[in-house]
Structure 1
Amino acid sequence: MATGFLLARFAAAGDKTAFVEADGSRESYAGLLARIEAAGAALDAAGVRPGAAVQLRGDFGAAATAFLLALWARGAAVIPVAPVSFEKAGEFAQVGQAEWIVDAASGAASGAIAPGPGSSEHPLYDDLRRRGVPGLVIFSSGTTGASKGAVHDATRLLSKFEGPGKDFRTLAFLLFDHIAGVDTLLYCLSNASTIVCPAERTPEAICRLIAAEAVEVLPTAPSFLNLMLLSGAQQAHDLSSLKIVTYGAEMMPQALLERVAAALPQARLVQKYGTSEIGALRSRSEGSASRWIRIGGHEDGRGAEWRVVDGLLEVRTGTAMLGYLNAPSPFTDDGWYRTGDRVEVKGDMVRFLGRDSDVINVGGQKVFPAEVEAEIARLDGVAEVAVSGSAHPILGAVVTARVRMTDPGAAPAAVRTAIRRGLAGRLEPYKIPQKIEVTDQPLVTDRFKQRRG
C-alpha cells in the first residue's frame, strides 16, 4: 500500500500532536489513525469503488487528511478543493469526471459522501487503475484562462518522503489544493511533525498563531510577506521561534527579500520552486537575501534535471504529472517540461525573471513586469503594485501599472507624478508605465498571486 510507511510512522508517533486545528483543538497521530480507519469504513458504506475519481472538499486538518489517505489506500484519484476554490468545485468535478464528492468540511465525523457528476472515465485514470496506484489531480489557478487538471501518480509524490527528514512545527499556510501545500503536508506527516492550521490567513492572525504555537517553519508567498511587513504584525508578536521561511508561487522582489531578511534575522529564507505539472522540487537558496537558487539535481532523490532553452527553463523529473485531463501535453518528446519561466543562469544556479507569457513587447523591446514592479515597490507609500501590458496602435503595447497606496487618500495625480519621477533614471523610458491606475482594492488573489491585467 502506497501510504503504508506513513501509517507505520503515525503508529510510532502515538499521542504526539499531529494537527493543531483551526479552532485550536488538537488531534494526535493515534487519533489520526482512527480517523483514517473511520473514513475507510464510511467510503465502504457509501460504495466508493477502488480506483474511482473522488473530489475531496476541505482544508488542512485531521478530517480532510484522513479522507485523503483513506482514498489513496483504495487507489482513488483524489481531486482536492480548498475553501477559496469552492465556487469552482462544480467545474472541477465535471472536468475531473468525479464519481464521488467527499465533503470533509461538513463538520460530520465521517464526512458527507455523495455521488458526483462523473464516471471516473479518462485514459489517465485508466492508466492509474491498470497499474493499481492512486492519483492526485491538481487544478491550475486559471488566472490566464480555463483551469487545467494535472493528473499525478501519487506513489511518485509519496516516494519522495520515504527517507527520513526533519521534524519542524509547521504552519499550513499554503492551500490544500496547491501542489506546494500537498508537498508540505506530506513532508510533515512523513516526519510525524505537528501541523498548525490557520483559521484565516491575515498577517495579524498568522503572526499571532506563530507566536502562540511556537511555529518553526512558515511556507508562504512574497505577496503575504509584503502585506505582513506593511501591517507591522511581525513587530506586535514574538516570531523568534521561526527557523525557516519558504516562499514561492510568484516573483520575489529583491527589495522585499532584503526587508524580510532584516525583519526576521533568525530565520533562514528559502526560495522554493515547483508547478502543478512537475510537483515541488527541492531547492537551496544561495543565501537568505539572494534570489539565486539551486533546484532539483540528484540530491532531491527523484533525478530532477533542468536546462535552459532560448532563455526558458525546462525540467525533467520523476515527480512530473502523467498529463492533463483537458489540455495537450506540455512535455517535449524526450520528457522535458517547458515551464514558460524566463531565467538567468550562474553556474549551477538560476534566477527567475518572470513568466514568458507576462512579457510586454513595447515596440520590439521586452519588458518584464516583475522588474518594473520591483522598482515601483521601492517607492515611498506604495503598498502593492501589479504591472501588465495594454494594447497600443503604434508600439503594439505599453506598460500599465495598478498601484495601491498605504495612504488610501493619496491623490491619484500626485501618485502618478511621484511614480514617474521615482522611476526616471532607474528604468529605461520604455519600461516606465504610460498608464498608472490608483486603486483601493487588493492586488493579490485569495491564492496570494498578483492580479495582473
Structure 2
Amino acid sequence: MILEELLTKISDEQVLWVSPEEQTSVGDLRHDIVACRNLLRGIDASRVALELADSIGALTWMIALEGIAEVVFLVPDSLRSSDDYSALKARFQPTLSVDESFAEKASEKSSDLPVSPKAVDHTRWVLATSGTTGTPKLIEHSTNSLTKTCKADTSRGREFTWGLVYDPFRFAGLQVVLQALASGSRLVLCNHIGSVKDQAAFLREKNANALSATPTYWRKLLMSGGLGNQSFRQITLGGEPADQSILNALKAAFPSARVAHIYASTEAGVGFSVVDGLVGFPAQYLEQGVAGNQLRISESGTLLIKPEEHAPSAGGASLANPDGFIDSGDLVAVREERVLFLGRDSGAINVGGNKVVPEEVEAVIREVDGVGEVLVKPKGSGVMGQLVTAEIQPRKADTDTAALKKQIMTHCRARLERYKVPALIRFVAEIEHNPTGKISRK
C-alpha cells in the first residue's frame, strides 16, 4: 500500500494537514485509518464512491481504502452537488458509498487493533475531468501513475508548507496532496474558505510558502491584495495556458520564488514542468521528449502525449491510440522555437468557418495595461454563425472604461487576425472562476 508506506518516513508527532476546523498529525492519521478499515469488515468495498465533503476526512478514507477497494471514485465536493453527478455515479456502479453518515460510524467502531480486510493487489482511482466545456468524463489511474513525479525527499520536504486551494479530489489538487505527503510537507487546506482574499489570509497565517493554482486563480490572488508580504519559495501554475503577463507578474511579486508552469491533465496524467519563465515549452521536447514522456502534435493541432508507463483509461478502455499516444485536446502552435498552448479544442469559436480559440484572444487582451481579467466567449450570429465577444474586468474599479476599450481594440487589431478581434466588449465587476480554479466558461 504505497500511500500508507509514505507515512512511515514521517514522525507520528508531525502535523500533516491543517484546515480552519482541525489539524491532523501522522499519529492521528494512523489511528483514523485503522478506524476506517474496521468499519469495512464484512462490507463489499470492491467499488467505492468516496463522497465526503470534509477534505481531511476524505483524504483519510482514501489512504484507508488503498489495497482494500479494487476501484475508488474520488468524488469532488463540487461535482457531488452538480447535475452531472447522478449519471456519473450510475455509470460507475459503486458497491459502497462512503458519505458523511457512513463515515461517522468509523469513530463509533474505532479500535487501535490492526485489522485485515480482504486485500487487493492494486487499487485503481477514478477521477472526473473538470468538464469546463462539456460533460465530465471518468478517467482511471493507478497509484503509481498519480505519484510518478512526487519527490520523496523528506529532509527537504520539511522546509515546505504547501497551500491547497483546489478540491483535493480534482487531479490538480490530488497532485498537491500527494507531493506534500511524499515529501513530508505540511499541507494547509483552504479549499473550503469562501473568498480568494480570505484564503490568502489563511495561507499567510499558517506560513504557507508553496502554492499550486491556475493562472486565473493567481491573477485573482494578485488583484485581491491579500497576500501582503507573503514569501513563497515555490509557485506552480497549471490547468490553463499561462500567458507571459502572469509569469512576469509572479516573478516581479515574488522574486525569490521558483516559478514552474506544469502541464498535466486528468486524461493524460502527470506530464512535465517548465521553469525558464517563458510561456509554452521548448520545441526540442517534440523531438527529445521530457520527463519520460514523448510528445507530438496531431494533424488537428492538438498535443499528443505518450506517458512513460501507465496510460489512463476511461470505461475500461485505454485512452491511447495504437502508437501509445493520448490526445490531450489542447491546441498548440510552434512559434519561435516554443510550443505555445492556445486552449481547448472543444472550446473553439467558429466565426464564418474560422476557428478562434478564446484563450488565445484573452492572452492578447491581457497584454493591455489596466486589464485585470478577461473572458472571451461566442455570441450567435445569423451571418457568421458565431461572433467573438469579450467580458473585461478592469484592474482598478475607477478605470476609464471608454479609454480602456479603445486601447484594447487598437491592440487586438494590431495583434490578431480580423476574425479574432472581439465584435463586442462588455465591462464587468468580476469574472468568476469555477471550483477547479479555472475561468467558468459554461
* Residue 301 of structure 2 is aligned to residue 306 of structure 1: no
Return the match for 1:19 from 17, 20, 27.
17
Q: Say which is worse superposed, 381-390 or 187-196, in terms of deviation.
A: 381-390
1:384-395 to structure 2, matched below 5 A, reads 384-395=373-384
TM-aligned CA distance change 1:8 to 1:49, over 3 Å: farther
* Residue 94 of structure 2 is aligned to residue 98 of structure 1: yes
Q: Give the C-alpha shift of residue 149 in structure 1.
A: 0.9
Asked whether the 8 Å contact 2:214–2:239 carries over to 1, the reply is: yes
Q: TM-score if structure 1 supplies the norm length? A: 0.82
Q: Give the C-alpha shift of residue 406 in structure 1.
A: 4.8
* Residue 320 of structure 2 is aligned to residue 331 of structure 1: yes
Q: Give the C-alpha shift of residue 229 in structure 1.
A: 1.8
* Residue 35 of structure 2 is aligned to residue 41 of structure 1: no
Q: Give the C-alpha shift of residue 274 in structure 1.
A: 1.1
In 1, the alpha carbon distance for the partners of 2:147 and 2:360 equals 37
TM-aligned CA distance change 1:34 to 1:162, over 3 Å: farther
Match of 1:239 in 2: 230
Match of 1:64 in 2: 58
Amino acid at match of 2:162: T
Q: Give 3-state SS (helix, strand or coil) of 1:271's partner.
A: strand
Number of equivalent positions? 424
Return the match for 1:191 from 183, 186, 209.
183
TM-aligned CA distance change 1:322 to 1:356, over 3 Å: closer
In 1, the alpha carbon distance for the partners of 2:149 and 2:43 equals 28
Match of 2:5 in 1: 5
Q: Give the C-alpha shift of residue 349 in structure 1.
A: 6.1
Match of 1:360 in 2: 349
Asked whether the 8 Å contact 1:57–1:105 carries over to 2, the reply is: no
Match of 1:116 in 2: none
Return the match for 2:222 from 195, 217, 229.
229
* 1:366-409: CA deviation from partner (whole Å, max 9, x where unpaired): 43322221232233543321112334344443212122345668
In 2, the alpha carbon distance for the partners of 1:444 and 1:238 equals 25
Return the match for 2:360 from 367, 371, 388.
371
Amino acid at match of 1:369: P
Q: Give 3-state SS (helix, strand or coil) of 1:233's partner.
A: coil
In 2, the alpha carbon distance for the partners of 1:228 and 1:271 equals 17
Q: Give the C-alpha shift of residue 159 in structure 1.
A: 5.6
Q: Say which is worse superposed, 26-35 or 362-371, in terms of deviation.
A: 362-371
In 2, the alpha carbon distance for the partners of 1:407 and 1:348 equals 36
1:121-270 to structure 2, matched below 5 A, reads 132-158=121-147, 161=150, 164=153, 166-167=156-157, 168-198=160-190, 199-200=192-193, 202-234=195-227, 237-240=228-231, 242-270=232-260
Percent of aligned pairs with the same residue? 26
Q: Give the C-alpha shift of residue 202 in structure 1.
A: 3.0
Asked whether the 8 Å contact 1:79–1:137 carries over to 2, the reply is: yes
RMSD over aligned Cα atoms: 3.3
Q: Give 3-state SS (helix, strand or coil) of 1:195's partner.
A: strand
Q: Give the C-alpha shift of residue 443 in structure 1.
A: 3.4
In 1, the alpha carbon distance for the partners of 2:5 and 2:362 equals 45
Q: Give 3-state SS (helix, strand or coil) of 1:333's partner.
A: coil
Asked whether the 8 Å contact 1:315–1:339 carries over to 2, the reply is: yes
Asked whether the 8 Å contact 1:133–1:155 carries over to 2, the reply is: no
Match of 1:288 in 2: 277
Unmatched runs of 5 consecutive residues or more in structure 1: 114-128
* 1:113-145: CA deviation from partner (whole Å, max 9, x where unpaired): 9xxxxxxxxxxxxxxx99842111111222322
TM-aligned CA distance change 1:413 to 1:159, over 3 Å: closer
Q: Give 3-state SS (helix, strand or coil) of 1:13's partner.
A: coil
Match of 1:279 in 2: 269
Q: Give 3-state SS (helix, strand or coil) of 2:416's partner.
A: coil
Q: Give 3-state SS (helix, strand or coil) of 1:144's partner.
A: coil
Q: Give 3-state SS (helix, strand or coil) of 1:320's partner.
A: coil
TM-aligned CA distance change 1:282 to 1:73, over 3 Å: same
Amino acid at match of 2:74: P
Asked whether the 8 Å contact 1:42–1:110 carries over to 2, the reply is: yes
In 2, the alpha carbon distance for the partners of 1:316 and 1:111 equals 44
* 1:83-111: CA deviation from partner (whole Å, max 9, x where unpaired): 33331344432222122221259984837
TM-aligned CA distance change 1:150 to 1:131, over 3 Å: same
Q: Say which is worse superposed, 91-100 or 307-316, in terms of deviation.
A: 91-100
Amino acid at match of 1:84: S
Amino acid at match of 1:92: L
1:360-439 to structure 2, matched below 5 A, reads 360-406=349-395, 416-417=405-406, 419-439=408-428
Unmatched runs of 5 consecutive residues or more in structure 2: 110-117
In 1, the alpha carbon distance for the partners of 2:429 and 2:60 equals 41
* 1:61-84: CA deviation from partner (whole Å, max 9, x where unpaired): 2x2222101111303422122333
Return the match for 1:321 from 312, 318, 327.
312
TM-aligned CA distance change 1:150 to 1:387, over 3 Å: same
1:100-115 to structure 2, matched below 5 A, reads 100-103=96-99, 108=104, 110=106
In 2, the alpha carbon distance for the partners of 1:2 and 1:357 equals 36
Q: Give the C-alpha shift of residue 250 in structure 1.
A: 1.0
Q: Give 3-state SS (helix, strand or coil) of 2:329's partner.
A: strand
Q: Say which is worse superposed, 159-168 or 442-451, in terms of deviation.
A: 159-168
Q: Give the C-alpha shift of residue 35 in structure 1.
A: 1.1
* Residue 113 of structure 2 is aligned to residue 82 of structure 1: no
Asked whether the 8 Å contact 1:404–1:438 carries over to 2, the reply is: yes
Asked whether the 8 Å contact 1:3–1:73 carries over to 2, the reply is: no
Asked whether the 8 Å contact 2:167–2:435 carries over to 1, the reply is: no
In 1, the alpha carbon distance for the partners of 2:194 and 2:333 equals 33
Q: Give 3-state SS (helix, strand or coil) of 1:425's partner.
A: helix
